[in-house]
Chain A
Amino acid sequence: MTQDQWTTVADVASAVCLLGGAFLAFAAGVGVLRFPDLLARMHAGTKPQVLGLALVLIGLALRLRSGGAVWALVLVAVFQMLTAPVAAHMVGRAGYRTGKVRSDLLVVDELTQDQERAQVRDHGRPDDDGPRD
């Protein structure tokens, strides 16, 4: 009797986690469409995605309840958490270097300020064709 109750509890918890994860993946899709800027879209691509995936994997682990596959799921979640910020960082850096970041949409842009200051210091003149549109 108790075993059956635990199974039901696990199934309900798994359903809740799956729903939460799917909702966050949906929010990531909406965000990447709606946000005005490359950097803002990266936010939409990193945070809801990681937690959504973690929730879905927790839901799956609750449902599978067997030892072997659950460890691989832990591995997938850890990989996502380690690699999503790295991918976002590289995309942001590439965006800055290829001039895809519009400084006029940002309230404060200290990276461009520091880069220009470094340019002036190194070459003695501000960069004419720097990362501006």
Chain B
Amino acid sequence: MTAVVVVCGVLLTVGAVLAVIRAEKGPSMLDRTIALDIVVTTMIAAVALYAAIERRTDVVPVLVVLSLVGFVGSVTIARFAAVEPEGEGRVRTREEIAAEAERMRAEDEAEGSRRTGRREGYDEHHGGGAEGEVRS
């Protein structure tokens, strides 16, 4: 019986860990919903395994509650899922944050100089003029 417990425990743990990895990677909210639903089901299986080993009947209501929680949770998230812009669902690395700050700063500078250029009557063009424009 101990061997059965160990093997089942290892299988359930590995399955739950893989689902959590998907919950971290999954590019959208819905992938994470499915992954967490699997984690909840693995918890139900683990509690049932414990009840089977110890032959306890008082943890059975826990199984009922967990199955309801899993279902209601995933349906609620799916019901209110909204459109996420690309890249919203990921955790950015430090280099990416630095690169994005750099890019935003460059855009602000270009915007500021474009505004001053417009005020002076299109005399200066940063980064070259428009195509086909004749420079006098």
Contacts and interface: CB of A to CB of B under 8 A. Distances in A.
B2 to A, nearest CB: 11
Contact of A64 (B18, B22, B57): B57
Contacts of A15: 1, 4
User: For the side of the interface on B, what is the size category?
Assistant: 35 or more
Interface of A: 11, 14-15, 18-19, 21-23, 25-30, 32-33, 38, 41-42, 44-45, 49, 52-53, 56-57, 59-60, 63-64, 66, 68-69, 72-73, 75-76, 79-80, 83-84, 86-87, 90-91, 93-95, 97-100
Contacts of B55: 63-64
Contact of A87 (B4, B15, B37, B61): B37
Contacts of B48: 56-57, 59-60
Given A29-B16, A32-B38, A98-B82, A64 B51 contact: yes
Contacts of B22: 32-33, 41
